[in-house]
Structure 1
Amino acid sequence: MISINLLPIRDILRRKNLRQEVYFILLGFGALLFLFLTVEIFQINAIAGLQEEEKRITQERKQYEVILNDIKKMEEEKKTLLTRIDVINKLKRSSSLTVHVLDEIATHTPPGRMWLKKLSQSDSQLTLEGMAMDDETIAKYMDELEGSAYIHDVKLVSSAMEQYAERNLKTFVLSARVETPEN
């Protein structure tokens, strides 16, 4: 006998396979959705953690800004004090410089051969006006002043013969630069 199977096995198998494919697709979609949700939860937690960290850092920065402002004020005060100390030191050197320059001039002026009529100092420039017996005395005086640690660049500005007390004397003007020697 011949038997004919009238059941649509191929259709049933196809439907069965189609259902399995749909289940796998839904399962894959569910797994993908689960994966996305898991990543999203991790990102939300990371964002929340970063926001907390930002708040903490902002509060910390505010605390440090107060300290930094105090440090800036102290640095400005330090600059001011250092400037004042520098001015005081310059004044000390300047006041002692004048004393030393006058001592050098008095020490090197030959008595009975030279007379100073005028002495002036403006900043570091020194001008001497006077009378001498001869040119040789003036030259020797200039050399001695040049040997001083406080007086430099001694130059003869002018020299002229002048009659004084029935004697021919040389009037002169010297210029020099004064400075405190570096120790």
Structure 2
Amino acid sequence: MILINLLPHREAARKRRKQLFQTTMLLSFMAGLVIAGLIYTLLQNLITAQQEKNSLLHAEIKVLEKQIGEIAGLEKEITALRARQKAVEDLQSDRNLPVHLLHELVVQLPDGVYVTSLKQEGQVVSMQGMAQSNERVSEMLRNLSENTPWFSKPELTEIVATNLALTPRDQRRVASFNLRFQLMRTSELQAKDNAAPAAGGR
């Protein structure tokens, strides 16, 4: 016996394919949504973790900036303390400078040279006086520049020939001079003495 299917099988197959396609599309859409949600969640977690790291870094940076500020303040205090210490040391070493000044002048001034005025401003000493001749002034300049470590940079600013009246009848020709030189501090002399062996050892 021959069986003949008179039902519309093509339309039924088309309908099944259509349903299968729609189901596949729906499943693909749902899978896409799930994957997108997972990626979004993963990215959000990464962003949150990075933001937490950034917040931690900002907090550490603020702590470090505060510590750097404190260190800078300490360095300023140390610098100020060193400056005060040096000032105190200079004052202590400068107490004896007038003694050295007068002693060295007595030793280094040649015979025939007389000091009429002596003035000190800081480390610069201005001196006025009279000498029997220009040669005496030259000798004094040599002594001040070569024979004593306490004086440096002697400079003759003026020398004038003038008459000095010892008595109404006795007048002598003398050289009136002005000069200045620098008075060395004890600390400067010590530094100079320490630098000399180091230079000699090279």
Query: Which category describes the TM-score, using the shorter chain as reference length?
Result: 0.7 to 0.9
Aligned to 2:136: 137
Query: 1:5 offset after TM fit, Å?
Result: 4.8
Runs of 5+ consecutive residues of structure 2 not aligned to the other structure: 193-202
TM-score w.r.t. length of structure 2: 0.71
Counterpart CA distance in 2 for 1:35 and 1:143 is 99
Amino acid aligned to 2:22: V
Counterpart CA distance in 2 for 1:96 and 1:20 is 113
Structure 2 counterpart SS, 1:23: helix
User: In 2, are the aligned partners of 1:120 and 1:127 still within 8 Å (CA)?
Assistant: yes
Structure 1 counterpart SS, 2:77: helix
Stretch of structure 1 that moved more, 162-171 or 126-135: 162-171
Structure 2 counterpart SS, 1:45: helix
Q: How do residues 156-175 of structure 1 correspond to structure 2 at under 5 angstroms?
A: 156-165=157-166, 166-175=170-179
TM-score w.r.t. length of structure 1: 0.77
Aligned to 1:21: 21
Aligned to 1:121: 120
Amino acid aligned to 2:100: H
User: In 2, are the aligned partners of 1:132 and 1:169 still within 8 Å (CA)?
Assistant: no
User: In 1, are the aligned partners of 2:133 and 2:175 still within 8 Å (CA)?
Assistant: no
Aligned to 1:35: 35
Counterpart CA distance in 1 for 2:141 and 2:12 is 131
Stretch of structure 1 that moved more, 39-48 or 18-27: 39-48
Query: 1:121 offset after TM fit, Å?
Result: 1.6
Counterpart CA distance in 1 for 2:102 and 2:132 is 22
Aligned-residue Cα RMSD (Å) equals: 3.2
Aligned to 1:82: 82
Give the share of equivalent positions with the same residue, in percent: 23
Write out per-residue CA displacement over residues 1-42 of structure 1, whole angstroms, 9 at most, x where no aligned residue: 998654333222222222221111111111111112222333
Amino acid aligned to 2:143: E
Counterpart CA distance in 2 for 1:98 and 1:16 is 121
Structure 2 counterpart SS, 1:32: helix
Query: 1:168 offset after TM fit, Å?
Result: 0.8
User: In 2, are the aligned partners of 1:146 and 1:154 still within 8 Å (CA)?
Assistant: no
Query: 1:178 offset after TM fit, Å?
Result: 0.5
Structure 2 counterpart SS, 1:168: strand
User: In 2, are the aligned partners of 1:156 and 1:172 still within 8 Å (CA)?
Assistant: no
Runs of 5+ consecutive residues of structure 1 not aligned to the other structure: none
Q: How many residues are treated as equivalent by the alignment?
A: 182
